[in-house]
Amino acid sequence: MRATAATVDLGAVARNYARLVARAASGCAVAGVVKADAYGLGAGLVSRTLWSAGCRDFFVATAAEGAALRGILGAGARIFVLNGPPVGPSLIPVVSTPAQWRACDGPVALQVETGMHRLGVAPDEARGMLCTGRVVLLLSHLACADNWAHPLNAAQCAAFAALTKAFPDVPASLAASHAFLANPATHHALARCGIALYGGCGAEGVLALHAPVLQTATVPAGASIGYGATYRFPKDARVATVALGYADGLLRAASNRAALYHNGVPCPVRGRVSMDLTCVEVTHLGRDPDVMEVLGPHQGIDALAAGCGTIPYEVLTALGPGSGLLR
């Protein structure tokens, strides 16, 4: 049986949540974003962990996710559905269009467009909706929060502030993880934190993944490796073939650029990641390894994502339950 397996440290999720709560501005609660099965980590266990840590507000993407979460957490949690109506009677839809507004007759969260141009009603439309008393949360989303120096952040914050000042009695939510950590002025009444709970943004690592080495061999100078012969060795090299590939969630983008680790030493990926195998150079180790760290104490999701030229969200969701690795 294949020994490659990933493990989730729920204690780390709780500790990351506690750190965010401690950092929150006065009057700001921290919600858990658990859409996409808690970014691939398992919404059931993660949500129960967050609830036990004191989290009472949760965000999901779809009504089906919301219904499942309600069954897990019971009646006490507030559950917001980001994709909007229709939703069950115990869920709060996030309304982003006039048509969605008209489709709802109960409490809603209202998403306003401030510059991302993805979802949200126009500010002028939002003002009329905010006068009705039906809006339990006013929110928007920042397009460039992971680069706080980007001028769009200031423009979006100003557009959102114009509404919060006009309707100070409506609770507001602007910050997701990056903005929450970058600027306390974005905290408002409720922060929506996801990746900072799960090991991104410099948080404590939550997902660990180790994969066994199936074979180690010497590849002669001038020879290539893997599909497409995309890497050619300039000199003789020891190469370990690891039981992990894109079918398991290791992104093909890791080819020829990311690294796996052995005892804290990075070993570069050589050639293309294939369906269930990845090759790394281990010449510099001085001995043949039996297992490689993909995620763990020496490489978190931020570092692996950088090595793949992508973002930690993609890394997590790829390595989640759909890969079959979580134990």
Q: Both 288 and 173 in a single domain? A: no
| Positions of the chain with pLDDT under 70 | 1-3, 321-324, 326-327
Catalytic residue among 35, 39, 231, 261: 35
Q: Is residue 202 part of a domain?
A: no
CA distances from 140 to 67, 80, 156 (A): 24, 14, 9
Which domain, by its residues, includes 38?
A: 10-197
Are 67 and 79 in contact by the 8 Å Cβ rule? The answer is no
Q: Both 132 and 171 in a single domain? A: yes
Q: Is residue 1 part of a domain?
A: no
* pLDDT of res. 327: 60
Q: Is residue 156 part of a domain?
A: yes
Which single residue is written with the structure tokens 């978190």? 300
Q: Both 153 and 212 in a single domain? A: no
Instruction: Count structural domains, the chain.
Output: 2
Catalytic residue among 17, 39, 227, 261: 227
* pLDDT of res. 112: 98
* pLDDT of res. 4: 80
* pLDDT of res. 325: 72
Listed residues 163, 197, 231: the one ending a domain = 197
* pLDDT of res. 1: 37
CA dihedral 203, 209, 213, 214 (to 10 degrees): -150
* pLDDT of res. 322: 54
Length, in residues, of the chain: 327
Neighbours of 27 (CB within 10 A): 10
Q: Is residue 5 part of a domain?
A: no
Residue 35 falls in the annotated catalytic set: yes
CA distance 56 to 58: 7
Residue 227 falls in the annotated catalytic set: yes
Q: Is residue 94 part of a domain?
A: yes
Q: Both 252 and 104 in a single domain? A: no
Q: Both 24 and 131 in a single domain? A: yes
* pLDDT of res. 321: 59
Pairing status of strand 224-225 against strand 278-281: unpaired
Q: Both 250 and 293 in a single domain? A: yes
Listed residues 197, 230, 255: the one ending a domain = 197
